[in-house]
Structure 1
Amino acid sequence: MSLDWIYYAISWILLRWHALWDAIGIPDGRVLGTNWAWVLSIFFLVVTLRVILFPVFVKQIKSQRAMQALQPKVKALQEKHKGDRETLQKEMMELYRTEKANPLMGCLPMVLQIPVFLGLFHVLKHLDPHLPEQYKTIYGWSLDQFSSASAARLFNAPISAKFGSTPAELAALGANGTTVKILAAILILLMMTTTFLTSRQMILKTGWAEDPQQKMIQRLMLYGIPFSLLISGSLFPIGVVIYWVTNNLFTLAQQQWVLRKFPPPQMAGKGGATSARPANATASDLKSTNPVQPGRSGGLFGRKKDAEEPVIPVVDTKALAPKPGAKPVNPKKGARPANKPKG
C-alpha cells in the first residue's frame, strides 16, 4: 500500500505553516544558528494534528475510565472462568459490548499518530540537497522550498541530520559531526524523559489497572517505550525528534487540563481518596457509604444533627460481673428460689 498520500499531507501542512511565517516576516535566515520558520512549522504541525485528534483524545480518557470502572466485574469473570480461557474471552467481550467499553480505544490516539510520524520521518529524510532535481519537487514542494528546508538548521545542526548520520551524510549536509551528535543526544534525552512523564502522569492520576494484562501494558508504556528510544532515537532526524518532544509536551499540558477539569472517580473527593458519588444514589446509600462518626455534626454527605439518631450506650459487661467473695444479690426482692423445697 502506497503511503504517498501521507507524505503529501505532511508536506502540505508544513508548507502552509512555513508560508504563514514567511508572510508574517519571520526570516529563513539563521538567528542563533536556527532557521526558526522551519522549526516553528514542525512545532505547529504538532498543534494542527493534536487539535484534529482532540475528540479522539477525549474518547480515550472516557474509555480508560470505563475500563477502570469495569475492573471488579472483569475480576469476577476471571475467578468464575478460571482455566476456561475461551469462555472467559467470550464473557469479557460481551461485557465490553454491553457496557459500551472499548479496550483498544486507549491506544487509538497513538496508533493514529504513527502514520504522521512515518510521514514526517520520510519527508525530512528526503531533504537531501544532492538529490536529482526531479525528486526535489515531489510531494508538492517547489525547488526554492526544497532548497530552503534542506538547509534549515537548529543551533547549526541540520534538521534532516541524525545522531547516527554517517560522515558521508554529514558531508552532504555540510554539517559538523560533533555539533549534530551533541544536539541530537540532548533532544533524544528530552524525548525519553517527556515520553516517560506522559505515561507516568496518566497512571498517577487514574491508578494502576487491576487486570494483569492491562497492568503489563501500563508498565510497558511507562518503562519499555522510553528505554527503546535510547536506541531507536539515533535513527530519527533531528526534525522528527523536535516533533516528538513537542508532541509529548502538548500531551502533558492536554492531559493535565482534562484531568483537572474532569477528574477520575478516585480524585473526586477531597484529597483524591474517595470515590465519586453515583448520580442515582439514595439517602440510605449515602448513610451506609458515608457514616457520621459520634461527636461530629455531619460531613460531606452526613446528617445535620446527631440527635436525629439515638446513640446506644456501650455496656461494660465486666463492671456488671460480681466481684470475688461478694454476696449474691437476688434480682427481685422477696423472690423465692426456684430450687427451695416446700415446707
Structure 2
Amino acid sequence: MSLDWIYYAISWILLTWHSAWDAIGVPVDAVIGTNFAWILAIVFLVVTVRVILFPIFVKQIKSQRAMQALQPKVKELQEKHKGDRETLQKEMMELYRKEKANPLMGCLPMFLQIPVFLGLFHVLRRLDPAKQAKTLYGWSVEQFDSASSAKLFTAPIAGKFGSTADELARLGANGTTVKIIAGVLVLVMMGTTYLTSRQMILKTGWAEDPQQRMIQRLMLYGIPLSLLISGAIFPIGVIIYWVTNNLFTLGQQQWVLRKYPPPATATSKATSGARNPVQPAKTGALFGRKPAPQPPAKATAPKVAAPKPGAKPVNPKKGRPAKRRG
C-alpha cells in the first residue's frame, strides 16, 4: 500500500504554514542559529492534527469513564468465571457491547497519529541536498533548499543524533552540536511522554482489569524508555514535533479531565461517608512533639431550678437551726 498520500498531506500542511509565517514577517534567515519559520511550521503541524483529532480525543475520555464505571461488574465476572478464560472474554465483550464501552478507544488517538509521525519522519529524512527528486510531494526546489538548510540552534532539523559523517557534511552541520541538541531534545521527549501518561493515570486511576493495568504500565514506563534508543534515529524536526505534541496533550488532557471528571468510586464514597469519625491528632504530635497541655476547664456552679408557677417562694433562712446564745 502506497503512503504517498500521507507524504503529500504532511508536505502540504508544512509548506502552507511556512508560507503563512513568511507572509506574516517571521524571519526566513536564521536568528540565534534558528530558522523560526520552519520550526513554527512543524509546531503548527501538531496544532492542525490535534484540532482534527479533538472530537476523537473527547470520545476517548468518555470511553475511559465508561470503562471505569464498569469495573465493579468486570470484577464480578472475573470472580464468577475464574479459571474459564474463554467464557470470561465472551461475557466481558458482551458487557462492553451492551454498555457501549470500547476498550480500544483509549489507544485510538495515538494510533491515528502514527501515520502523521511516519509521514513527517519520511519527509524530513529526504531533506538531503544530495537527493535529486527535490520537487517530490509538491515541493519546489527553493522550498526544498530552504528546508534542508533550516536549523535549530545551528543544528539542521533534518539531522539526528545518529547521523553519519557524510550526512552531516552534506547538511553542513557540526557533529558535536547536532548530538548535543538532539540528545537534549530526546531527554525532553522522554520526560514529556512520561508526564502525559502519568497525568492521565493520576486523574483516572489504575485500572482494575489486569490487561488494562498492563497497558497503563507499558504507556507509563515502556514507551519513554524505548525512546532513549529509538530517539537516536529521529530527525531533530521529528523530535520537535513529538515534544510539541506532548505539551499540547498535557494542556488538552487537563482541560478535558476538568470538563469530564472521573466518576466517584465506591471507595471514595465510603471514605467521604465516614469522614472524621475520630478527632484528628494535634499537628505537633505528627512531628514527634508532645501537644501543649490544655488549661483545666473552669468549674461551673450547678444551676438551680426555677420555682414552678404558683408555688410559694422558699425562704432559704427558714429551716436553719437557731444559733445558741452563750
Q: Say whether the fold is shared (TM-score over 0.5).
A: yes
Determine the structure 2 residue equivalent to 1:151: 149
Q: 1:73 to 1:137 in 2, by over 3 A?
A: same
After superposition, residues 210-225 of structure 1 pair within 5 angstroms as 210-225=208-223
Query: 1:33-83: per-residue Cα shift (whole Å, max 9, x none)?
Result: 000000000000000100000000000001111111111111111111112
Contact between 1:206 and 1:266, CA under 8 Å: does it hold in 2?
A: no
Determine the structure 1 residue equivalent to 2:5: 5
Contact between 1:194 and 1:248, CA under 8 Å: does it hold in 2?
A: yes
Determine the structure 2 residue equivalent to 1:326: none
Contact between 2:61 and 2:260, CA under 8 Å: does it hold in 1?
A: no
Determine the structure 2 residue equivalent to 1:102: 102
Determine the structure 1 residue equivalent to 2:175: 177
Counterpart CA distance in 2 for 1:126 and 1:208 is: 42
Determine the structure 1 residue equivalent to 2:323: none
Counterpart CA distance in 1 for 2:131 and 2:121 is: 17
Which shifted more, 4-13 or 79-88?
Answer: 79-88
Query: 1:283-309: per-residue Cα shift (whole Å, max 9, x none)?
Result: xxxxxx958999xxxxxxxxxxxxxxx
Which shifted more, 87-96 or 242-251?
Answer: 87-96
Which residue of the other structure, out of 210, 226, 229, is the alignment partner of 1:228?
226
Determine the structure 1 residue equivalent to 2:125: 125
Letter in 2 for 1:162: K
- The alignment partner of 1:118 has SS state of helix
Letter in 1 for 2:193: T
Q: 1:169 to 1:79 in 2, by over 3 A?
A: same
Which shifted more, 257-266 or 146-155?
Answer: 257-266
Contact between 2:186 and 2:228, CA under 8 Å: does it hold in 1?
A: yes
Letter in 2 for 1:166: T
- Name stretches of at least 5 consecutive residues in structure 2 with no aligned partner: 278-326
Determine the structure 2 residue equivalent to 1:162: 160
Counterpart CA distance in 2 for 1:174 and 1:158 is: 8
Question: Larger relative contact order (C-alpha < 8 A, sep ≥ 6)?
Answer: 2
- The alignment partner of 1:265 has SS state of coil
Determine the structure 2 residue equivalent to 1:190: 188
Counterpart CA distance in 2 for 1:36 and 1:227 is: 30
Query: 1:155-197: per-residue Cα shift (whole Å, max 9, x none)?
Result: 0000000000011110110100000000000000000000000
Letter in 2 for 1:65: R
Contact between 2:26 and 2:36, CA under 8 Å: does it hold in 1?
A: yes
Letter in 2 for 1:97: R
Determine the structure 2 residue equivalent to 1:62: 62
Aligned residue pairs, count: 276
TM (normalized to structure 2)?
0.82
Counterpart CA distance in 2 for 1:205 and 1:67 is: 14
Deviation of residue 256 (structure 1)? 0.7
Counterpart CA distance in 2 for 1:41 and 1:274 is: 48
Counterpart CA distance in 1 for 2:200 and 2:24 is: 38
Determine the structure 2 residue equivalent to 1:140: 138
Deviation of residue 266 (structure 1)? 3.3
Counterpart CA distance in 1 for 2:153 and 2:218 is: 34
RMSD: 1.9
Deviation of residue 136 (structure 1)? 0.5
Query: 1:297-327: per-residue Cα shift (whole Å, max 9, x none)?
Result: xxxxxxxxxxxxxxxxxxxxxxxxxxxxxxx
Query: 1:252-284: per-residue Cα shift (whole Å, max 9, x none)?
Result: 0001111122211239x9xx9449xxxxxxxxx
Query: 1:226-269: per-residue Cα shift (whole Å, max 9, x none)?
Result: 000000000000000000000000000001111122211239x9
Query: 1:77-133: per-residue Cα shift (whole Å, max 9, x none)?
Result: 11111121111111111000000000000000000000000000000001011111x
Letter in 2 for 1:156: T
Letter in 2 for 1:257: W
Counterpart CA distance in 1 for 2:143 and 2:276 is: 73
After superposition, residues 229-268 of structure 1 pair within 5 angstroms as 229-266=227-264
- The alignment partner of 2:254 has SS state of helix
Contact between 1:193 and 1:226, CA under 8 Å: does it hold in 2?
A: yes
TM (normalized to structure 1)?
0.78
Determine the structure 2 residue equivalent to 1:200: 198
Determine the structure 2 residue equivalent to 1:83: 83
Determine the structure 1 residue equivalent to 2:286: none
- Name the % identity: 78
- The alignment partner of 2:10 has SS state of helix
After superposition, residues 312-323 of structure 1 pair within 5 angstroms as none
Letter in 1 for 2:179: K
Query: 1:207-234: per-residue Cα shift (whole Å, max 9, x none)?
Result: 0001111111100100000000000000
Counterpart CA distance in 2 for 1:239 and 1:98 is: 45
Counterpart CA distance in 1 for 2:274 and 2:234 is: 58
